[in-house]
Structure 1
């Protein structure tokens, strides 16, 4: 990295930087092949999502782990950041990258008749799904959305998420402006390409099973890019990447599948970047210059010039100096002996206490944060760090001093002063007790903060965001992923209830997706009533969890919220609508139509029935979460639903998702 040297002005003694020569900083990456036994590959290539090293290549998706290759997303990123922008001049780096890739069917492909098909029922060679990108992104841990998003971006990403990609796309998505299902696109911070090239115009078919060689050359000074596919220059033109670049970025590949699937393989990769950097001149003020300056000001004189001015008569005799030195040493010796003797006598009379050992705190153990730490992590609770909000407070993204990313729930003053938050001590007690709970499908609590009449909870951060953004967003979650989500969350709730605890805030925005799309339950409710015993309160809250989980199941299957103003009046309340469809034996109408024919309708209807069971009165057959987990295995029968909706359903506030009124007590 360039060195910045601070120098001191001899006239003003102020520090300043002096521009020096401009030099080039070069980085070179070379992977002639991706071998599993090469330790360099293991350390320098980070695989995210559904990506794997297999058969001397990077493969996306990972067919060894996914039973269904549809709607998979993965990335392969060089593990270390690369300097791609000079922040002084705002000049982007020049770079050149070459890589070989291939699109092919799953190894489980078989043939039915004249049409190739994979074992999961998907068409083969002539379909494609969806494509591969060479990406430059600001982080090394985010995986974008599958399908047409190519694992580059998703609708949960912020608008200012800086990303550049060159896509090799084998699916036509008219909503994104794709010209056909065989094109190359240049994407500047958006999934909609700024420039598209029809590969067929050059006699190239991306999905013909051939190994293709791509070469991208970018001149940062001229802002000029060239893209070659094989011997063909498919694009050349002016392209300013500086608005999309931070000083340091990550480079690599991303790929995804949608309703149709293919294996994306990268066999080799070379990347070289050259960025300019302004060095600083070292300080011209040296020790020698200081001596010269002092001499010029008369502070020193040379030995030759001062020798004649010395008076030999003024020099003291050598014997006198020796006598003085001996006397000083004798005085020091006597004083030392006196001090040592006095210290020994004091130690005999002293009581020696064992030294108290400071027990080190485990680095990952939840603990109390200071208000200063939390404020610093969120840049003073900057509005740009807000992840979301609800009736209880605001979620902020934060970064601790050790670099760990966290999500911080800052409870609002209105919530803390409401009846739900009157007993703040009990609220903090539940936070600390919940922070000790660990389960693969529960968001870990890293700590809490109390101060200045505030209460905040520090959670682990999940870059793929909350489920509601994926479930109710632009794209469509496939049925297999939805089923996995409800099973994950059922396991989490069942575990909590087995510990005599409850979540108390069960809704889609409390469910988060990790980098591999495993569902985890967070944003705990921490609602306690100071007038009830903890055992009674836990029993009530667990029943509320089951009821809310039933609504959660209906939301996941239907792909819509519990209240929806965009539908007809009779369908507006999701629970009412689901019960009416049960009464008329039309439960299939509850299932999200956007999933099309890929949904397993029998499974989806069974999950709807489990959701309706969870909304029964406790005395009328509402299951506990342990039973729900068994039902969601979908292996055996479930209890029969009543023919019509019971009259006294568990009431809830459709806005906050909280139980309200007397009905929040157990039914007898």
Structure 2
């Protein structure tokens, strides 16, 4: 009989054994319906009076427990004077069952809490005429979220969502909002909103109609009731010391099942934006009840495994040898069949080439964080076939996609465009060498390269995903980054470039869109330039050198200080070119006029002007005093004196200067 027949026989025998065993194991998998109840209460949040609070409340981001007030405070007022653009969460430390996955029925729950909004500062940044003194900003949200390690965005996102575009993040929020954001559908600056997986409220309630003004400085109390069976929610709101309104602020049908997971974390989130507000939660009660089905033991038992008393086991013991003998014979036959099959397969494998066997032997599992080569199918699956919904941004070199690997890790995928890859003179092998070199560099301010893919005409680089995105969106968008954060971002980027240069590497793409922000707003440098096409390399040889990184970093500093792009067509005619404008302000000693006025009075003008001087120093020709990145990091420490700048800088018509200080083929003229 051929070995294949032996294998088939073995499978049939094993299958019959499995069927027999399976029949013995049949039984009821579920029993009667039961209720799973979770209940907790916090009369206060003082870690001194109740040390258990530290164990039962998890603080994320800018959040703290105030022993003085006995309250949860968001933001953390101990962080410093500048409380703008902060976000935090306070969650119950243990997950709560909020959905029955068998019937897809949400849990019923009731929660009540008392809270207060205190306007910490009412300074309106210069140029912001949309707000008035005393208005405060942002608000508080009761949230249900899938994990206990995500911090939401600051500003109008109320700390509820981290990635505003991630529709896969399940979250439910009841917001008490004191800032009018028309782009999110807010009716006014005193409303309640019900948010289902989005910062845009599915339902809004005008709190003014209830005679309640959330930002009046008084303590308020809220009660939220939800009937999971009926999919019905009631929300009551009132002032502390008074009875809650008999009529609910909201009462209506609401199906939460689509936005819940079986287990989630409950708590509060809040944030600040251009204007600040301290959000205090003084007490909190929560009760939930979810349906479940009790798992019952099987009705059948394996009698052969039950140890019988010796008085009743005599007859059984006499019959056992016969069945045992047949079992022994069966096992021996099966072993012989397996040995014969393995022998045949081994002889068959010996006919293969030794080279293939060697390749098979040297394969090793790849550590999860080690950069590796991805297949095009892995990349396509991670980006949902390069879906437009996953596009993060694009430039002349290619497109960035958001991707999700099978292990759940989110990544940013840079797919280089065919036009760039087919450019005249591009050396793809050299490009792959640079990708490999960058992937082995590790620094806290450099985005880790998770891998790459080269498939036919495709070259793709896989970076770690940073949900806060590029600095350009924060610097030139609607929000305003405070000066302290801008200075820290400049220093972080300088550290990254200095480290790269120390490793004899260059970034070659230094711009605001290449500086990414992690959850703590630390600057992380990514989107490396790798190599340029041969024609570009011949025309501007400095574009592939470290000297250009320094020049581009200088322009980057000026953009961060001014809050403007390097080329701004919407600016006045004499200010379109930021570098030209900055040098003219230096010539007339009026650099203070170029600082971003939106930062308001919290801005340190002396530090900002010093940063501008360092930026201008970086744009000098190398023969005229352009520093190295190592020297730049020393200058940014604010302890080293800055070399004196020339009153006007001889500057090439094209901004890149070569290692000799000249632009090949271009004339130079003094900057006026």
TM-score, normalised on structure 1?
A: 0.70
Output aligned runs, 1:361-380, within 5 Å.
361-380=366-385
- For the 8 Å contact 2:136–2:215, the answer to whether it is kept is no
Matching of residue 404 in structure 1 with residue 409 in structure 2: yes
Deviates more, 1:504-513 or 1:608-617: 608-617
Of 545, 548, 551, the match for 1:544 = 548
- For the 8 Å contact 2:164–2:199, the answer to whether it is kept is no
Matching of residue 257 in structure 1 with residue 272 in structure 2: yes
Rate the CA distance shift 1:270–1:585 in 2: closer, same or farther, 3 A: same
Please give the alpha-carbon distance, in whole angstroms, between the structure 2 residues aligned to 1:562 and 1:75. Answer: 37
- For the 8 Å contact 2:470–2:516, the answer to whether it is kept is yes
Q: Show the counterpart of 1:418.
A: 423
Of 604, 615, 618, the match for 2:619 = 615
Matching of residue 97 in structure 1 with residue 111 in structure 2: yes
Unaligned 5+ residue runs, structure 1?
1-19, 110-114, 117-124, 287-320, 340-354, 654-659
- For the 8 Å contact 1:155–1:474, the answer to whether it is kept is no
Q: Show the counterpart of 1:484.
A: 488
- For the 8 Å contact 2:635–2:642, the answer to whether it is kept is yes
Secondary structure of the equivalent of 1:232?
coil
Please give the alpha-carbon distance, in whole angstroms, between the structure 2 residues aligned to 1:40 and 1:449. Answer: 50
TM-score, normalised on structure 2?
A: 0.70
Rate the CA distance shift 1:156–1:478 in 2: closer, same or farther, 3 A: farther
Post-superposition offset of 1:132: 1.8
Please give the alpha-carbon distance, in whole angstroms, between the structure 2 residues aligned to 1:520 and 1:545. Answer: 16
- For the 8 Å contact 2:205–2:250, the answer to whether it is kept is no
Rate the CA distance shift 1:455–1:25 in 2: closer, same or farther, 3 A: farther
Secondary structure of the equivalent of 2:443?
coil
Of 427, 430, 437, the match for 1:433 = 437
Deviates more, 1:465-474 or 1:596-605: 596-605
Rate the CA distance shift 1:282–1:649 in 2: closer, same or farther, 3 A: farther
Rate the CA distance shift 1:566–1:126 in 2: closer, same or farther, 3 A: closer
Of 195, 206, 221, the match for 2:204 = 195
Matching of residue 512 in structure 1 with residue 516 in structure 2: yes
Of 51, 61, 70, the match for 1:49 = 61
Please give the alpha-carbon distance, in whole angstroms, between the structure 1 residues aligned to 2:275 and 2:535. Answer: 56
Post-superposition offset of 1:443: 0.9
Post-superposition offset of 1:149: 3.7
Please give the alpha-carbon distance, in whole angstroms, between the structure 2 residues aligned to 1:80 and 1:513. Answer: 29
Secondary structure of the equivalent of 2:580?
helix
Output aligned runs, 1:318-337, within 5 Å.
none
Please give the alpha-carbon distance, in whole angstroms, between the structure 1 residues aligned to 2:164 and 2:212. Answer: 37
Secondary structure of the equivalent of 1:517?
coil
Secondary structure of the equivalent of 2:545?
helix
Please give the alpha-carbon distance, in whole angstroms, between the structure 1 residues aligned to 2:653 and 2:97. Answer: 60
Post-superposition offset of 1:493: 0.9
Q: CA RMSD in A?
A: 4.8
Rate the CA distance shift 1:39–1:458 in 2: closer, same or farther, 3 A: farther
Please give the alpha-carbon distance, in whole angstroms, between the structure 1 residues aligned to 2:535 and 2:397. Answer: 21
Rate the CA distance shift 1:376–1:270 in 2: closer, same or farther, 3 A: farther
Please give the alpha-carbon distance, in whole angstroms, between the structure 1 residues aligned to 2:480 and 2:569. Answer: 20
- For the 8 Å contact 2:106–2:260, the answer to whether it is kept is no
Of 220, 223, 244, the match for 1:232 = 244
Please give the alpha-carbon distance, in whole angstroms, between the structure 2 residues aligned to 1:427 and 1:453. Answer: 13
Q: Show the counterpart of 2:227.
A: 219
What are the superposed Cα offsets for residues 1-38 of structure 1, whole Å, 9 maximum, x if unpaired? xxxxxxxxxxxxxxxxxxx9996875636353668799
Matching of residue 28 in structure 1 with residue 38 in structure 2: yes
- For the 8 Å contact 2:150–2:162, the answer to whether it is kept is no
Post-superposition offset of 1:553: 1.3
Please give the alpha-carbon distance, in whole angstroms, between the structure 1 residues aligned to 2:568 and 2:35. Answer: 55
Rate the CA distance shift 1:90–1:650 in 2: closer, same or farther, 3 A: farther
Q: Show the counterpart of 1:472.
A: 476
Please give the alpha-carbon distance, in whole angstroms, between the structure 1 residues aligned to 2:362 and 2:193. Answer: 62
Post-superposition offset of 1:604: 2.1
Q: Show the counterpart of 2:400.
A: 395
- For the 8 Å contact 1:378–1:396, the answer to whether it is kept is yes
Matching of residue 556 in structure 1 with residue 560 in structure 2: yes
Output aligned runs, 1:235-250, within 5 Å.
235-238=249-252, 240-242=254-256, 245=259, 247=261
- For the 8 Å contact 1:150–1:254, the answer to whether it is kept is yes
Task: Decide which structure has the larger Cα Rg and report it.
Answer: 1
- For the 8 Å contact 1:142–1:463, the answer to whether it is kept is no
Rate the CA distance shift 1:127–1:385 in 2: closer, same or farther, 3 A: closer
Please give the alpha-carbon distance, in whole angstroms, between the structure 2 residues aligned to 1:415 and 1:255. Answer: 44
How many equivalent residue pairs? 562
Q: Show the counterpart of 1:638.
A: 642
Q: Show the counterpart of 2:141.
A: 133
Rate the CA distance shift 1:93–1:385 in 2: closer, same or farther, 3 A: farther
Deviates more, 1:237-246 or 1:428-437: 237-246
Rate the CA distance shift 1:391–1:22 in 2: closer, same or farther, 3 A: farther
Deviates more, 1:584-593 or 1:391-400: 584-593
Rate the CA distance shift 1:250–1:414 in 2: closer, same or farther, 3 A: farther
Rate the CA distance shift 1:521–1:581 in 2: closer, same or farther, 3 A: same
Deviates more, 1:62-71 or 1:619-628: 62-71
